[in-house]
Structure 1
Amino acid sequence: MYEFRLLDPMTAPDYERLTSPMFRSQLSAIHGSFAIGVQHQSQPCGLILAEYSHRDRRSRICSLYVEPAHRRRGLGKALLDRMEQTLIDAGCVEVELHYTVNLMTPVLDRILEQLNWSPGAPFGLMCVIQRHLVQNAPWLNYPLPTSLTPFPWSELTLQDRETIQQQRSSLLNYPPELCPFREEHLIEPRFSFGLRHQGQVVGWNIVHRIAVDTVRYSALYVRPDLQPAGRAIPLLATAVRQQIQDRQITKGIFIVLLDNAAMVKFVKHRLSPYLTEIQQTWKASKDSVSEGCCLKCVRTIL
């Protein structure tokens, strides 16, 4: 007999072994997240974890896992179906799901098809960089022009924050994926920086601590009218220089959107020698009849 349960801070830690170390801090805190577990004879055997932003009404499914001994019994489909309904009930209008290709990918593809997810399309590149490889990279010394000033993100003012939110669809025009206010409880303040031009915030590089030895460069953005001049690379370098001084943090992960041609070119021609892993992400979408909810899936392909 299988029992599904919506987890809380008291019950979630029992399911930590069913997700990657990079997501365990989210699971234990359940801060801005939903987690649904399934157990058999009182023993956890499956888990789905989703991050949710009430402000944007957007969600990202971080982890979906069923123990091998309990697979082929419909538990993965049931977990995803229950999470979708939980998110809809919370007012979610968009959700993303990330996964990498492995032996279980055909099973997951069938689950998505059964739940009426549409086919995916290329979306981005996920890169993994190691401290010992990148520390001598020449682009770490690319300078910012004197008209642009980096500052620690921890020094962001309330007025700065309000302006960024107000200009989201106008002057700054940043996509939801690059919002600097996602997963704020995971922000690593030593490596997260903003960028000012004439006193106004025009960019940021937000870094999240997702494991003891790993950070994720989650949102690298520079205002569109300044992007052609390659301002994002020196901003990224500012954070990487800080990271390589910390011997405990050996790995960095980041995603480059495919529609950012300049960054894709940088990855292929400048960054690739320092990468230990590069994967392609795909995005699919699903329209829900409930309150017009649009559900999106992001698939990571080796």
Structure 2
Amino acid sequence: MYHLNSSNALEYNHLTYPSLQKRWQTQPPQGELTGLSASLDSAIVGFAISERLNPQQAEIISLFVLPEYRNQGIGTKLLAYLEQELAQQGCVEIILSYSTSTLTNVALEPLLQKLHWQPPQINLVLGKTATEKIAQAPWLNKYPLPPAFEVFPWLDAGLSLPLSVEAHRLEPLNSLGLRYRGEVIGWVLTHRVAPDTIRYTTFSIAQAFEKRGRGVWLLASAIRRQVDSGVPYLTGSVSYRYPRLLKFVERHLTPYLTGVGEVRQTSKLINPTLESREN
């Protein structure tokens, strides 16, 4: 077992999936880190890491086995031992979020089922594309705004950000707000996640204007600015908690995406007796 921190954990980055180094660029660790390794002939062949979110809950943030040692039950044993360790520490529940891929379909999900985790639930739909592809969407040049509406650069207005949006790497090119008669009624906020890629982080429009195409025009305006700038790639995600926006994505964006995926989440109670006592 390893007691890790944000510095010494990176020594094992080559044994992490997803990459901790990449994760911590946008989501630094907040809680205690616990790591378990699997070794063969004194060489580490697998590694599992959890982060304590609060006294009762932890998250599995990495589970990795070297390709040549897979399909031998090593990942299953790693996760099972990590569950035991967290239970001994007084943890009640473990959660795990992951982006779907061929690897998660054939390796991770059967492993979770074997260890009696809850069936995974879809949290987010992920999409990516290139500007040359999205530029073909006919709705980019529809829905003109009446004079009472004004699109403005978010950073130029000096407004505070929504609580869930980080200021770091906020993209000035196409982070936009929308005003109606001087009042802010919507925004699309983006981040430069790589020199050639802009992530569309959050999109919101006041309910009274949802059915009038104002939000579509705002999103189209942000995309047009990126198309004109030459930044070639864009990514984004939509939560299943927003069915109207998800429906728009499926209808108007999906035909112009080069890749679509999902983020799923699952959980497991590892100390139900402790939970019942505290309740």
Give the alignment's TM-score, normalised by structure 2: 0.68
Q: Which runs of 5+ in 1 are unaligned?
A: 166-178, 293-302
The amino acid of 1:31's aligned partner reads P
Match of 1:296 in 2: none
Describe the superposition over 1:244-269 as per-residue Cα deviations: whole angstroms up to 9, x where unpaired.
2343x422222233454443343333
CA contact (8 A) 2:50 2:62 kept: yes
In structure 2, the CA distance between the partners of 1:38 and 1:200, relative to structure 1 (3 Å rule), is farther
Structure 2: how far apart are the matches of 1:244 and 1:136? 11
User: Aligned match of 2:251 in 269, 273, 276?
Assistant: 269
Structure 1: how far apart are the matches of 2:195 and 2:28? 19
User: Aligned match of 2:211 in 224, 228, 235?
Assistant: 228
Match of 1:6 in 2: 4
CA contact (8 A) 1:120 1:284 kept: yes
Match of 1:194 in 2: 177
User: Aligned match of 1:77 in 69, 74, 79?
Assistant: 79
The amino acid of 2:10's aligned partner reads A
Alignment of 1:127-146 (within 5 A): 127-142=127-142, 143-146=144-147
Match of 1:153 in 2: 154
Structure 2: how far apart are the matches of 1:215 and 1:204? 16
CA contact (8 A) 2:36 2:78 kept: no
SS at match of 2:102: coil
Structure 2: how far apart are the matches of 1:7 and 1:187? 27
Match of 2:236 in 1: 254
CA contact (8 A) 1:37 1:44 kept: no
Match of 1:242 in 2: 225
Structure 1: how far apart are the matches of 2:59 and 2:153? 27
In structure 2, the CA distance between the partners of 1:60 and 1:212, relative to structure 1 (3 Å rule), is farther
In structure 2, the CA distance between the partners of 1:30 and 1:121, relative to structure 1 (3 Å rule), is closer
Aligned-pair distance for 1:277? 1.8
Structure 2: how far apart are the matches of 1:217 and 1:210? 10
SS at match of 1:267: helix
Match of 1:126 in 2: 126
Q: Which has the greater radius of gyration?
A: 2
SS at match of 1:112: helix
Aligned-pair distance for 1:45? 5.1
CA contact (8 A) 2:2 2:35 kept: yes
Aligned-pair distance for 1:128? 1.6
SS at match of 1:270: helix
Give the alignment's TM-score, normalised by structure 1: 0.64
CA contact (8 A) 1:123 1:280 kept: yes
Match of 1:175 in 2: none
Structure 2: how far apart are the matches of 1:243 and 1:129? 12
SS at match of 1:188: coil
Structure 1: how far apart are the matches of 2:250 and 2:263? 16
Which has the higher mean CA deviation after the structures are superposed, 28-37 or 188-197? 28-37
SS at match of 1:118: coil
The amino acid of 2:260's aligned partner reads I
In structure 2, the CA distance between the partners of 1:155 and 1:14, relative to structure 1 (3 Å rule), is farther
Structure 1: how far apart are the matches of 2:60 and 2:153? 29
SS at match of 2:199: strand
% same residue: 26
CA contact (8 A) 1:127 1:254 kept: yes
Structure 1: how far apart are the matches of 2:85 and 2:26? 18
CA contact (8 A) 1:119 1:284 kept: yes
Structure 2: how far apart are the matches of 1:237 and 1:277? 19
Structural RMSD (CA): 4.5
Aligned-pair distance for 1:11? 4.8
Alignment of 1:17-28 (within 5 A): 18-19=16-17, 24-27=21-24
